[in-house]
Structure 1
């Protein structure tokens, strides 16, 4: 059964993480994705490591499956001409050059429309095409700092901290994917293509969700709370007698179950029945709960809390998470055939379609792996391809 985006063609000019993650998701859903890289080093992440697995960077491998790979020198007239041919029958172009780069190459959105009137151009940058910061490079770490995310991440009395993955890149890739699907639906209705201008900064601001809303509604600047929640109590890390785990009491009903389970008169008192009261006396409440939870092991509490329907969970390391029975049952670790790597495992797709399931048909391409194949399809002869290689066009 073909994927839900079968017959959609994506020309991928992006590199590093936000764009490649977006196009990988589209490829997972069945779109044909042609990844275009520079002829020298290609996607920068090819060199980001260790770890390397039989010569391939683990970083590159995480975001580039279900794609074909071609190299082009876009600074040459013939390289640009090949790009135009690829775009001529494509549905979407994804690029994350600095704003204005495509226009300087002579192939901005207006020029693309002359080649393909219905083309959708998704342009990803650090700060977007407008505004005083539009010319600045966008790195996830910097975006986490400038967006306010780091100011609310970390211990209250410690340094601001970044999230352990490039979360602004990941979120921007997801927002870009959503934008592309919306633009396709618009084109289905009207026949019109369009350009999508999306930035890491905007995406991360949007991802502040309730924390941003708290400020906009109250005027109070949010602070770091460590592992606590700004709006809900108890919702944090607690210690059993053999280590730490998460207790996430999301509503008053769950709190009543917890108070009954812990068998403490203080916890059952009226002052704590409502979340608003628990927030007002957060410190006192935490002390009572902490003392109670230290009387049993994490495993014992896991059984009791699950039986009571109270959200909780262990703090797994990455190995424990990926090796968990749940991850295995959900096929979240998949084995991929690769021409040079004997045992390649990647994180699976979280998208579970009942009628058009995700398929991983292509390994993350080697540098320039499909250049000849793609150029043959475009009508170039073997002699022309050899000449272009000699001229450093491909």
Structure 2
């Protein structure tokens, strides 16, 4: 199952036990695997991670959802509620550096694998716990998926057209945000452990990470007390910074300063707009957003997307067509960056994957082995952790 990419593996030697499922935890552990960690994914013997059945589409026995977030891992099937399964996990923990789990707060499994108890037996362990709503507060015991986080965390109130129904973001920003902040926490805890020798209990939640991603939306509200709402493709602090219709589709313009605004006006032969007191400075354009949109929409309407992208780019105005995923995956720029590679799956064959998006001194981490067949490594892992290895503990 050799991958087509080779490169740095800064986490080589770090051993990770993945007790999580669905998206946030598995995406975090896949990222650790991409960085060179040895990741073992624990799955229930009957069906495994629920995302194996989250289709269509399916490729072979597994849904593409599962295949997207589990490469580079071994799979061991264990019933975590059984005494035998718990004994096996404890034997594995003796040689583990990082545990990632998303047990529901207060659940039986969280009590069984309570961090306080684990840290007494394995003081070196770094444990990442990802929940829906966090460790404290009235919502701590509530379940939640990405959609719930986007609604409860405010993202859906800011997404969509003004006056329209609330919209979910296209990507799973609740889960993915928690995965990335959790990953940061794990890496920081490993650095701390290198100094102290002790692990950490790292916690985050989909809800907390949604709040962290509010950024300027939050400070806008704190400063003004005005409830923000959806702006379509617009920006609360910049204008023009949105999608506009051309004669054959939409494109986006992102004007970040007054110099770029003057360049845009020159490109569309409307230099008069730079002297219009409604649009002279960014603060004026934001205050008169509706008038600005009407002026620019009328100017852009006769031309094609290609025409305006070429014209505005020639004037150093940030601009882009709105592309579909198939176009992006076939783009020479994507290929030049090495962002798509392949792994060899034992039953599916060649499987295309999006690579890890960070390079180290010009080298991208290797695209690791394919997502595992359910229980593919159970015999080997059980054999390597037989009870006699506990002698003297």
- DSSP 3-state at the match of 2:373: coil
Deviation (angstroms), 1:265: 3.8
Q: Residues of 2 paired with 1:369 and 1:362: CA distance?
A: 13
Unaligned segments of structure 1, at least 5 residues? 382-394
Normalising by structure 1, report the TM-score: 0.93
Deviation (angstroms), 1:191: 1.8
The aligned residue for residue 305 of structure 2 is 298
The aligned residue for residue 392 of structure 1 is none
Deviation (angstroms), 1:209: 1.2
Contact 2:30-2:73 at 8 Å conserved across structures = yes
Once the two structures are superposed, the pairs formed by residues 183-202 of structure 1 within 5 Å of their partners are 183-202=189-208
Q: Residues of 2 paired with 1:47 and 1:142: CA distance?
A: 21
Q: Residues of 2 paired with 1:275 and 1:318: CA distance?
A: 32
- 2:52 aligned with 1:46, yes or no? yes
The aligned residue for residue 35 of structure 2 is 29
Deviation (angstroms), 1:192: 2.0
Deviation (angstroms), 1:2: 4.9
The aligned residue for residue 295 of structure 2 is 288
Q: Residues of 2 paired with 1:286 and 1:102: CA distance?
A: 55
Once the two structures are superposed, the pairs formed by residues 1-394 of structure 1 within 5 Å of their partners are 2-101=8-107, 105-269=111-275, 271=277, 272-354=279-361, 357-379=364-386
Q: Residues of 2 paired with 1:102 and 1:235: CA distance?
A: 49
Contact 1:28-1:66 at 8 Å conserved across structures = yes
Deviation (angstroms), 1:361: 3.0
Q: Note the aligned Cα RMSD (angstroms).
A: 1.6
- Once the two structures are overlaid, the 10-residue window that deviates more, 157-166 or 347-356, is 347-356
Deviation (angstroms), 1:343: 3.2
Normalising by structure 2, report the TM-score: 0.93
- DSSP 3-state at the match of 2:345: coil
Q: Residues of 1 paired with 2:282 and 2:180: CA distance?
A: 33
Deviation (angstroms), 1:101: 3.1
The aligned residue for residue 387 of structure 1 is none
Deviation (angstroms), 1:360: 2.2
Unaligned segments of structure 2, at least 5 residues? 1-6, 389-393
Q: Residues of 2 paired with 1:44 and 1:303: CA distance?
A: 46
- DSSP 3-state at the match of 1:75: coil
Contact 1:4-1:356 at 8 Å conserved across structures = no
- DSSP 3-state at the match of 1:144: helix
Q: Measured at CA, do residues 337 and 365 of structure 1 come closer, stay the same or move farther in structure 2, by a change above 3 Å?
A: same
Deviation (angstroms), 1:115: 2.6
Q: Residues of 2 paired with 1:105 and 1:280: CA distance?
A: 54
Q: Measured at CA, do residues 318 and 157 of structure 1 come closer, stay the same or move farther in structure 2, by a change above 3 Å?
A: same
Deviation (angstroms), 1:379: 3.7
- DSSP 3-state at the match of 1:225: coil
Contact 1:87-1:115 at 8 Å conserved across structures = no
The aligned residue for residue 391 of structure 2 is none
Aligned length: 381
- DSSP 3-state at the match of 1:128: coil
- DSSP 3-state at the match of 2:191: helix
- DSSP 3-state at the match of 2:211: helix
- DSSP 3-state at the match of 1:343: strand
Q: Measured at CA, do residues 79 and 203 of structure 1 come closer, stay the same or move farther in structure 2, by a change above 3 Å?
A: same
